[in-house]
Copies of this chain bind each other. A is one copy, B any other.
Amino acid sequence: MHKIDMNQVKNIVTDIVSKHTVENVAFVGCGASKAELYPGKYFLDHNAKKLRAYHFTANEFNTDTPAWLDEHTVVITASLGGTTPETVKANSVAKAAGATVVSVTHTPGSPLTKEADYVIVHGFEADYAAKLEKMGYVMALALELQQQTEGCPVYEDMLIGYDNIFEMAENSAQSARKAAKEFAVAYKDAPVIYFMSSGASAEVAYSSSICLTLEMQWINSGSFHSGEFFHGPFEIVEKGVPFVLLMNEGQTRPVDARALTFLHRFDALTTVIDAKDYGLTNAVPANVATYFNPLLHTAVFRVYAEEISYIRQHPLTKRRYMWKLEY
């Protein structure tokens, strides 16, 4: 059964807190990696009573560096290939201010690892679960940082969740192929696709929009929090307007459910990836299920993205600019 190495995370945090009083945790990255940091930030935002947590796109962190950045700060950076220039620079900015840097990357020896105090290497290619390791490690760092600084009442429940989520997400992705093919048929000619979610999955909606749709399919797209839907975006809804809702199990489910009711009422073209349908709470304790939604949604929507790429004969790796020119 697929798992991440929780002992490695625990040992890194134990070492950090033996050297520094940790007051701040800054999650810094770009694009999909920035979005994959969000569940860690979300976890601390809702649970930590003392730690301060921040989430920056790397170039904002580099150009408008916060006044509090110092030796009491842990900066967690992530980049799949470990070459994202802004994120590599963020490590330098953090180190220059005396902060501790933990970098999470798929690529040992990559530029991102050079100035990092600690490096976690995650999988990617093996299967759908492997694509969740980056996000999983980052949230595990958040969990351990809270546990080892101020204590975390849901710590044990989170560990149970980690024991089961990867296999559960893999199985969910494997079972999603038929629904994904239906999605691909229905959305292949969509002039625009909107994405919504809430809670810890809010930035899965964001990365599904900016990466999988805008970047990898060149389809127009926007995303927003399900709780914001009724405060602006819902006026775009008419019969057939394409939406994808990543529906959460847990605290914010009523927020998603209200948006879904509206989409159905006005016959929007609606695709729902519902964590409840996949049985999230059969795999993780109900009181912490909300934090594991993004892993499930990421695994399942990956299959949807694959299928729309096949039917449109537009590979997910096809680019106009990236890898082709300097910018």
Chain A interface residues (CB < 8 Å from chain B)? 30-34, 45-49, 52, 54, 57-60, 63-64, 66-68, 84, 86, 191-192, 198-199, 207, 209-211, 214-216, 218, 220-225, 227-228, 230-238, 250-255, 258, 261-262, 265, 290, 319-322, 327
- Choose from B45, B222, B235 the contact partner of A215 (Cβ within 8 Å): B235
The chain B residue with its CB closest to the CB of A265 is B327
CB-based contact A327/B262 at 8 Å: yes
- By a CB distance below 8 angstroms, the chain B residues around A234 are 215, 321, 327
On whether A227 and B64 interact (CB within 8 A), knowing A191-B220, A209-B222, A214-B232, the answer reads no
- By a CB distance below 8 angstroms, the chain B residues around A191 are 191, 220
CB-based contact A67/B46 at 8 Å: yes
CB-based contact B222/A223 at 8 Å: yes
**How far apart are the CA atoms of A30 and B209 in the complex, in Å?**
21
CB-based contact A235/B66 at 8 Å: no
CB-based contact A321/B46 at 8 Å: no
- Choose from B198, B235, B251, B258 the contact partner of A214 (Cβ within 8 Å): B235
**How far apart are the CA atoms of A244 and B139 in the complex, in Å?**
34
CB-based contact B192/A210 at 8 Å: no
**How far apart are the CA atoms of A117 and B60 in the complex, in Å?**
35
- By a CB distance below 8 angstroms, the chain B residues around A210 are 224, 228, 231-233
On whether A86 and B227 interact (CB within 8 A), knowing A68-B49, A222-B209, the answer reads yes
Instruction: Known A-B contacts: A30-B227, A234-B327. Give 13 more (CB < 8 A).
Output: A31-B232, A46-B66, A57-B227, A57-B228, A60-B225, A191-B220, A192-B192, A209-B222, A211-B231, A214-B222, A214-B235, A234-B321, A235-B319
**How far apart are the CA atoms of A58 and B198 in the complex, in Å?**
12
- By a CB distance below 8 angstroms, the chain B residues around A221 are 222
**How far apart are the CA atoms of A30 and B228 in the complex, in Å?**
6
